[in-house]
Amino acid sequence: MHLNHRIEKVFPCLQWIKGYQYSHFTSDLIAALIVTIMLIPQSLAYALLAGVPPQLGLYASILPLMVYAVFGTSRTLSVGPVAIASLMTAAAIQNLGIENQVDYVNAAIMLAFLSGVFLVLMGFLKLGFLANFLSHPVVSGFITASGIIIGLSQFRHIIGIKASGDNLLELVETLLANIGSANTATMMLGIPVLLFLFWARSGLLSLLRYYSAPQKLIKLLPKVAPVLAVILTCILAYQFNLEASGLALVGEIPRGLPSFALPVFSNVSWIDFIVPAIFISIIGYVESVSIGRTLGAKRRQKVDSNQELIGLGTANIASAYSGGIPVTGGIGRSIVNFNSGAETPLAGFLAAIGIALAAMTLTGLLSYLPTATLAATIIVAVSNLIDFSILKKTWNYSRSDFTAVLLTIVITLLAGVEGGVLSGVGISIFLHLYKTTKPHIAEVGQIAGTEHYRNVYRHKVITYPEIMTLRIDESLYFPNTSYLEDQILQRIAERKDLKHIVLMCPAINEIDISALEILESINQYLSELDIGFHFSEVKGPVMDNLKKSDFLEHLNGKVFLSQHQAIEAILQKKYQKAKEKPEFTDFQI
């Protein structure tokens, strides 16, 4: 049994295969058909965004889906090329100054391979927790800014001009400089397609509901709108020879399946790709796990963070081995896969087969596909990523989080995606450190008639002038103990009649050696002032560590099991003859 469990941990597919039913296959097949239809134009579009030939997008949507079905733990996550990873791929290669097409393609494949190796290594080392250092609001800010950059970068294909740049300023500058050379044929096709795709997301739904269309048709048609746009514009481009009028086409796409080989490491310095590959993999992993957990929670299905590292890592290695670009879990396709009724990862496996069939049969027709159509597909897709509501949400909830999100958006827009990733990581870590260096410290008192102790500024409580209890709502370690010391010294200076200080410790999970030294210093100082220094509600593991030192031997007070016991013991000792009348603090908000 133990061996079977270990095998299932390595190959999560065995868990859902055991209980697989015929009804599941029907649901998976329907979902696969819908996702396949959606993935064909998306795969081509994201290859365009990454700056590689369109077939690489198709290749990245075949073998990676199959491999993830074996090693991934999410039942409905759909893996493949996505907008953010494609943009980061293009930015990384351009920053390295690679212009030769062969070397450019090899570099994109290498990024997929290195990203996969990094993710798998993290998975084997159980380092999934490291992704938690990227706060979700910061990631949302990065994705919003990246969505703006992506959408703006594709606008040049909509109007048929040349423009470049990997940040907002460069893109706006080059677009304005070249807008006078816009191509009429491209605009006459690109702008209507863009408007149609935006309309299909909401207007088409309303129209179908108005005419009481079948529910399945209402769900399906908006999702296949990009395919309708691809078919129609291919026909128009062929029928009216629009290429002769300056309309850019995808061109010939090699028919058939990819050849299998690893990237060539001798052409370029692969060391230069390590940092970009790490960035791509981290951002992709954070979003994938977030999507997987969200969809899994709706069906009470668990997603294993560390196994997801291996699942996404092997998918990227598979993409590189089959000549594809970096892949990760896509928000749009995963939601479509989920809403279409996918029960297991077999839906992704079947979708991969559908993409493979398309690569073998439809590439000739796709050679007439206008790049303006793909650009419109990208713009509409990334519009879902742009979410400025995170600014309002964080402003209302936490000003520090709002500042972090705003800084991430601004830096990403001005410095590009790599600068945005660096700033996002740095801001997330700084935000964590800043919050932990100033732990919440509440002065508490007893709620009358109970043994409960609450914040004196939030509740009407009993306090005593010679006793002060401070509740520490954070573990004590080197960055924050000086803050605790300052708070205690400040209160001592304000309260001349203070005789006892009790640290209430229910939230303290750890006291490191630096914190222990500060506590020893505080104890020594309070001893000289003849002020008792006590502890209450200390957790077992923390007490075990304190016993390993001589701190408890030199402590001028005591350690109590509960806060109520501490107050009762101090009062009994201090006021044996006549207890001083307790005073009530005013209730404040």
Most confident of 36-45, 104-113, 212-221, 413-422: 104-113
On whether both 127 and 61 belong to a single domain, the answer is yes
Asked, for residue 11, whether it belongs to a domain, the answer is no
pTM above 0.85, yes or no: no
Indicate whether 578 pLDDT > 70: no
On whether both 376 and 421 belong to a single domain, the answer is yes
Taking residues 476-481, report their average pLDDT. Answer: 88
Domains of the chain: total: 2
Q: How far apart are CA 283 and CA 305, in angstroms?
A: 14
On whether both 448 and 362 belong to a single domain, the answer is no
Asked, for residue 369, whether it belongs to a domain, the answer is yes
pLDDT in tens, 368-421: 999 999 999 999 988 888 889 989 999 999 888 898 899 999 999 998 887 888
Asked, for residue 160, whether it belongs to a domain, the answer is yes
Q: How far apart are CA 283 and CA 175, in angstroms?
A: 28
Q: Which residue has the higher pLDDT, 81 or 100?
A: 81
pLDDT at position 579 is: 44
Taking residues 490-508, report their average pLDDT. Answer: 92
Query: CA nearest 129: which of 306, 308, 311?
Result: 306
Burial of 49-74, coded b for 16+ CB within 10 Å and e otherwise, reads: bbbbbbbbbbbbbbbbbbbbbbbbbb
CATH number of the domain that residue 448 is part of: 3.30.750.24
What kind and span of H or E run contains 59?
helix 55-59
On whether both 170 and 253 belong to a single domain, the answer is yes
Domain boundary among 384, 404, 430: 430
Q: Are 53 and 47 in contact (CB under 8 A)?
A: yes
On whether both 422 and 447 belong to a single domain, the answer is no
Query: CA nearest 220: which of 24, 382, 38?
Result: 38
Domain boundary among 430, 465, 490: 430
Asked, for residue 8, whether it belongs to a domain, the answer is no
Tokens of 250: 């995808």
Q: Are 481 and 508 in contact (CB under 8 A)?
A: no
Lowest mean pLDDT among 45-59, 202-216, 404-418: 202-216
Indicate whether 194 pLDDT > 90: yes
Indicate whether 107 pLDDT > 70: yes
Taking residues 96-103, report their average pLDDT. Answer: 84
Q: How far apart are CA 32 and CA 49, in angstroms?
A: 24
Domain containing 494: what range? 441-584
Asked, for residue 523, whether it belongs to a domain, the answer is yes
On whether both 356 and 476 belong to a single domain, the answer is no
pLDDT at position 15 is: 87
DSSP 407-444: HHHHHHHHHHHHHHHHHHHHHHHHHHHHHHHS--EEEE
Asked, for residue 9, whether it belongs to a domain, the answer is no
Q: How far apart are CA 153 and CA 159, in angstroms?
A: 12
On whether both 348 and 448 belong to a single domain, the answer is no
pLDDT at position 264 is: 81
On whether both 445 and 345 belong to a single domain, the answer is no
Asked, for residue 282, whether it belongs to a domain, the answer is yes
Indicate whether 55 pLDDT > 90: yes
Q: Which residue has the higher pLDDT, 109 or 267?
A: 109
Q: Are 87 and 145 in contact (CB under 8 A)?
A: no
Q: What is the DSSP letter of 245?
A: G
Cα-atom radius of gyration of the chain, to the nearest Å?
Answer: 30
Domain boundary among 430, 463, 485: 430
pLDDT in tens, 343-360: 999 999 999 999 999 999
Q: Are 83 and 147 in contact (CB under 8 A)?
A: yes
On whether both 514 and 569 belong to a single domain, the answer is yes
Burial of 189-201, coded b for 16+ CB within 10 Å and e otherwise, reads: bbeebbebbebbe
Indicate whether 179 pLDDT > 60: yes
Asked, for residue 263, whether it belongs to a domain, the answer is yes
| Confidence at 135, pLDDT banded by 50, 70, 90 | confident
On whether both 283 and 200 belong to a single domain, the answer is yes
Q: What is the DSSP letter of 464?
A: B
Torsion, Cα of 74, 76, 81, 85 (10° steps): -50
Query: CA nearest 80: which of 130, 45, 120?
Result: 45
pLDDT at position 127 is: 85
Q: How far apart are CA 480 and CA 433, in angstroms?
A: 9
On whether both 361 and 510 belong to a single domain, the answer is no
Q: Are 35 and 351 in contact (CB under 8 A)?
A: yes
On whether both 421 and 455 belong to a single domain, the answer is no
